[in-house]
Structure 1
Amino acid sequence: MNSDDVWIDDCDSLREMANRIEENIAWNVGDGNQVRFWKDIWVHGQGRLIDNVLIPPPENIVDMPVNFFSTLSGGWDWSKIDPYVSRDVHSSIEASTPPVQGRNDCVRWRRMHDGNFSIRSAYECLSAGNGATRSTFWSRIWKWPVHERIRSFIWLLAHGKILTNSHRLHRNLTNNASCPRCGREEETVLHAIRDCNVIEWNSKIHAGNDLSENWQSTFGVTCWYVWKNRNLLVFENHTPNMQDLFFQILYMVVIECDSEVALELVENGTTENHPCSGLVHQIRSLVDRNWDINLVHAFREANQTADLMAKMSHTLSEGLHVFCYPHKDLGYILTADLYGPLVPRVCVC
């Protein structure tokens, strides 16, 4: 073997490794300007769409970006897609988040669930391998059964970091450390949340060691509303009344989901290169609107009705469907729920 043969073998090996790496690089669609619809990998569970078409798309659209195939209303323009793809590919595209203006396209590493590249996973890819002390007090805060924004507030409260007038005075942000509600004492953290005479905590209720979820939720939400109403008075000169309380309760929403992984993604967010970042971004943009949402995990056995309705949607035409009466397929599930039979569950220890 001469030097030319060695060079050719080295080039072939490098080309093969480059191809393996390229096969594991995919795109997360943001605004869809950089990602080629047919020639790049961006649909979950699919490779390049051009390799799995019924008939080749015309030359004038084969290099077009993803946003070319979306509508002005933010959906997919199926008239430009369906003539060339199978029903399975259609379903995969339908499950992908359409382009959203203001978000950049970014690459992700397909061999990692979170989309982040790692040397170890790259080595396993090239070698054809398969791969893939907090204190009790602070841990308890992050497990507090309340909305994420209230949990963050409790964390600041426990650290004494909420911006009371006492703190503002120390930072030279004000020359008056007194409480804006009673005007009698210095506004420390404890005064703002507990000791101010404008606040009426029911001292007849002794929580003691009662750390049930109901008590924890009540305590956390109460502290948060005490501070929120204080800020409404300070910054907007608004004193809340019972009507305000009614609308605050109206905008309290509990969302149940039987996937703990999905809840964690929605609560904590994802990096831009995570495979689900587009969908998670849209969900979080809805969650962050002007309401208080509590995301709750529900066991699958308790979620069978919603689960069946979600599966049923795949057999219906696109658009809004209203059921005035329970669907016939729900009969067994609703009857079982009425009589409350025990459902076995396998727990992995």
Structure 2
Amino acid sequence: MACGVPFAFLACFLLLSQPLTAISDFLSPLLSPIADDVCKEVECGKGTCKPSKNSTLFFECECDPGWKQTRFSKDDSLMFLPCIVPNCTLDHSCSNAPSPAPEKARKTNASIFDACHWVDCGGGSCNKTSTFSYNCVCDSGFYNLLNVTAFPCFRECSLGLDCKNLGISISNSSSSAPPASDSSSSNDGKSAPPALGSSSNKGKFKTEQLVLDLRILRDYAEVHLSDTEKNRVFAEFVTDSRDWAWDRFDFLIPNNVSSMIAAVRPPSPMFPKDTIIWRHTQDGIFSTRSAYRAISRTDEDQPNRYWRLLWKWKGMERIRSFLWLCGHDRLLTNEARKRRGLTGVDTCSRCGTDVETLLHTLRDCRKVKPLWMKLVHPSHWHVFFGLGRMDWLEKNLSSSFGRSGKPWESVFAIAAWIFWKIRNAEIFQSQEAEITNPVNHVLHLVDSFTRAQSRQDVGFYKHHVNSPVLVCWQKPESGWVKINVDAARQETLKKVACGGVARDWQGNVLAGFTRNIGECSTLAGELWAILHGLEVAWSLVIKKVHLESNSLMAVNLINHPTQRCHPCFGILFGIKQFLQHKWSVRVDHVYREGNMAADAYAKYALAKGSILEVFSVVPAAVTKWIKHDADGVGLTRSCLV
């Protein structure tokens, strides 16, 4: 190296004489007196300057753990260089740019007085800003490490999972990073900020809203917020390792709000810009119906449950129409006729004692109640005869009150219809009044309908029958690694966790992982499990991955185009970024019976922390299911074949 001769030594002395500032001016200290205090002017990046009598330049940079001057073995002749190369897993197969290295071929006409002579910017170009200073201008898709322009440029896919331990992130890119994509994304879940449309990096603490209830975030604050705190943007609450910086805001908000935020991917310039989503639908797409409900705030739980049950009810269409009239209280009873001015008397024409309302006609009249008592089991009489109209209709289509063992929703609907027809026959003196045993007549009609429905089902599904199938975990193909993932939910605390396990084609466990996500939807938990499974696979440098999840909805969202307004689009965006790397990945659905080990990891994660943990040793709580899969033991499932 040129530093071995006096003139070259002077050149090196002048070249390395500026401190590392925002523009990496680390070459100037050697212009100051060569003494023990030379380190006052030296910046070593991720290292510490120490005077050294053994060094040609009277100082050297002692790197922090995990950092080095070059990507190769330690070179004593280069100890004067700053520590800007991470000592972690770096995979450049997804990048066209070479890794940063001082040994990279230099320009033949480059001057050793030029800082760019010594610096390799990786996926970027070195820009000389003065005689002894430079910065790395990253190419499109590359970002400076630690958001410092003195550090080399990498793609995010080049960084292994262990690089996070060094505080490395290329997500918080510098000004040299390319602009965000024109496509838009929404937040990851219904309960996470930001809610409506501003960029995640620019969203302010005071203006962004939690999608859960449209309250602005500052309303959750448990302490007084200064104007400075109110105007801080979300990017200020993120660490260099792309995680939430909990120590900066966790003390400001309740635990349940922190749990909601934990389930959201932190903002990053790598993500597309946020877009407006419609919070009143599960897929984020606007509909007039949902808008009307949101404005009117109608209580849809009980009435709409009845209409949904009626829509799914299997029976004659004329009976369905009759039940529809009952739901709208449209039967022409004497009470309804008097209300419409068609008669002056509203008492029951059969018993002559009470007002003939719909419930009186169909249930409470002394000519009808004994018939119901023969159909309804005595243990349910107090419920059956004590409910209001809508509750009575809904409960009888969703519960089993009968004593005959026949499908009660059919018995109830047919009985109510027959009793109404008998009432009309008595009033208008038709032949329907001649039914001698209404209860047996109802049960006979139920049997006839059941047989007819069975024949129709057999004809419709004649090529498909339910058959018991033994489902078990299957080893992947030779050379592949199978990663099974799952999510688990704790209903009482509304917490969701995820976990998974990676096994090779011989069934050997390579790694397992867990994470307690926080408060989010089960679908978001399933997608988080898939994302973390891919992260673990990438960190293990696995090139052929077969990932299985028992969430068919999550798998379909990944394998098909997704609307940008979907509440989970942020997680899906991260998953699809991984799928674009240079490796082979298949994402398939598997029945839960073949995913029991991942299910055990997910349940185990409910008692773990919110940090992603990767295990090389199988936890005791999961050992049973790992052995269960290794032995080829399966569970029986009824499948349509």
Instruction: Using structure 2 for the length normalisation, give the TM-score.
Output: 0.29
Matches within 5 A, 1:3-42: 27=195, 31-42=199-210
Q: Does 1:52 align with 2:220?
A: yes
Deviation at 1:116, TM superposition (A): 1.5
Question: Where in structure 2 are the equivalents of 1:261-280 lying within 5 Å?
Answer: 261-280=553-572
1:115 to partner: Cα distance: 0.9
Which protein has the larger Cα radius of gyration, Structure 1 or Structure 2? 2
Q: How does 1:70-85 map to 2 (within 5 A)?
A: 70-85=238-253
Q: 1:68 to 1:44 in 2, by over 3 A?
A: farther
Is residue 617 of structure 2 the alignment partner of residue 325 of structure 1?
yes
Distance 1:345 1:58 in 2: 59
**Aligned partner letter, 1:128:** R
**What secondary structure, in the 3-state scheme, does the structure 2 residue paired with 1:92 have?**
helix
What SS class does the counterpart of residue 260 from structure 2 fall into? Answer: helix
The verdict on how the C-alpha distance between 1:325 and 1:253 changes in structure 2, with shifts beyond 3 A counting, is closer
Residue 67 (structure 1) shift = 2.1
Query: Is 2:591 aligned against 1:299?
Result: yes
Residues 308 and 49 (structure 1), Cα distance of their counterparts in 2 relative to 1, 3 Å cut: farther
Change (3 A) 1:55 1:111: same
1:34 deviation in Å? 4.3
SS of residue paired to 1:91: helix
- Cα distance in 2 between the residues matched to 1:54 and 1:345: 50
Kindly indicate whether the alpha-carbon contact (under 8 Å) linking 1:29 and 1:278 is maintained by their aligned counterparts in 2. Answer: no
8 Å contact kept, 2:597–2:629: no
- In the alignment, does 2:297 pair up with 1:128? yes
* Inter-CA distance 292–323: structure 2 relative to 1 (3 Å threshold): closer
Give the Cα separation in 1 of the matches to 2:226 and 2:639. Answer: 53
Compared CA separation, residues 274 and 262, structure 1 to 2 (3 A): same
Secondary structure of the structure 1 residue equivalent to 2:247: helix
Structure 1 position 316 matched with structure 2 position 485 = no
In structure 2, how many angstroms separate the alpha carbons of the residues matched to 1:279 and 1:70?
17
Residue equivalent to 2:269: 101
Sort the Cα spacing of 1:71 and 1:298 in 2 relative to 1 into closer, same or farther, 3 A: same
Q: Could you say what secondary structure the match of 2:585 adopts? A: strand
Name the structure 2 match of 1:63: 231
Whole-angstrom distance in 1 between the partners of 2:196 and 2:573: 12
- TM-superposition CA deviations, 1:6-61 (whole Å, max 9, x none): xxxxxxxxxxxxxxxxx9x9726785144333542246688433333433443321
Match of 2:477 in 1: none
Q: Are 1:259 and 2:551 an aligned pair?
A: yes
**Any idea what the Cα deviations from partners look like across 1:50-109, whole Å, max 9, x if unmatched?**
333433443321233322322344221212221112333222211101112152122111
Counterpart residue type for residue 233 of structure 2 = P
Deviation of the 1:295 alpha carbon: 0.8
Shift of 1:304: 2.3
- Percent identity over the alignment is 27
More helix by share: 1
* Matched letter for residue 81 of structure 1: F
Aligned 8 A contact 2:198 2:274 in 1: yes
- Partner SS for 2:230: coil
Letter in 2 for 1:58: S
Displacement of 1:324: 4.0
**CA distance in structure 2 between the partners assigned to 1:325 and 1:91 by the alignment:** 28
User: Does structure 1 conserve the Cα–Cα contact (< 8 Å) formed by 2:201 and 2:268?
Assistant: no
TM-aligned CA distance change 1:279 to 1:52, over 3 Å: same
* More moved, 106-115 vs 266-275: 266-275
From the superposition, tell whether residues 320 and 120 of structure 1 become closer, same or farther in structure 2 (CA, over 3 Å).
closer
Aligned partners of 2:214 and 2:288: how far apart in 1?
A: 24
Q: Secondary structure at the match of 1:285?
A: helix
Give the secondary-structure state (helix, strand or coil) at the position aligned to 2:615.
Answer: coil
Alpha-carbon separation, structure 2, partners of 1:78 and 1:29: 24
* Deviation by residue 1:120-154 (Cα, 9 ceiling, x = unmatched): 2101222224489xxxxxxxxxxxxxxxxxxxxxx
Unaligned runs of 5+ in 2: 1-190, 309-541
Partner Cα distance (2:576, 2:268) in 1: 14
Asked whether the 8 Å contact 2:196–2:208 carries over to 1, the reply is: no
- Do 1:28 and 1:272's aligned partners in 2 also have CA atoms closer than 8 Å? no
* Superposition deviation, residue 255 in structure 1: 1.1
Residue aligned with 1:108, SS? coil
| Partner Cα distance (1:61, 1:33) in 2 | 15
> 1:280, CA displacement in angstroms?
0.8
Q: Secondary structure at the match of 2:200?
A: coil
Q: Distance in 2 between matches of 1:96 and 1:280?
A: 12
2:576 to 262, 284, 287: 284
Root-mean-square deviation (CA), in Å?
3.5
Structure 2 residue 403 is matched with structure 1 residue 111: no
| Native 8 Å contact 1:257 1:263 kept in 2 | yes
Matches within 5 A, 1:162-311: 251-311=543-603
Q: Secondary structure at the match of 2:226?
A: coil
Which one has the bigger strand percentage?
A: 2
Aligned residues: 209
What TM-score do the two structures reach when normalised by structure 1?
0.51
Kindly indicate whether the alpha-carbon contact (under 8 Å) linking 1:30 and 1:101 is maintained by their aligned counterparts in 2.
Answer: no
Larger mean Cα displacement after TM superposition, 264-273 or 48-57: 48-57
Following TM superposition, by how much is the alpha carbon of 1:322 offset from its aligned partner in structure 2, in angstroms? 4.6
For 2:556, the aligned partner's letter is E
Higher relative contact order (CA 8 A, sep 6+): 1
Residue type of the alignment partner of 2:255: R
Q: Contact 1:38 / 1:48 at 8 angstroms: preserved in 2?
A: yes
- In the alignment, the residues of structure 1 paired with residue 570 and residue 210 of structure 2 have an alpha-carbon distance, to the nearest angstrom, of 11
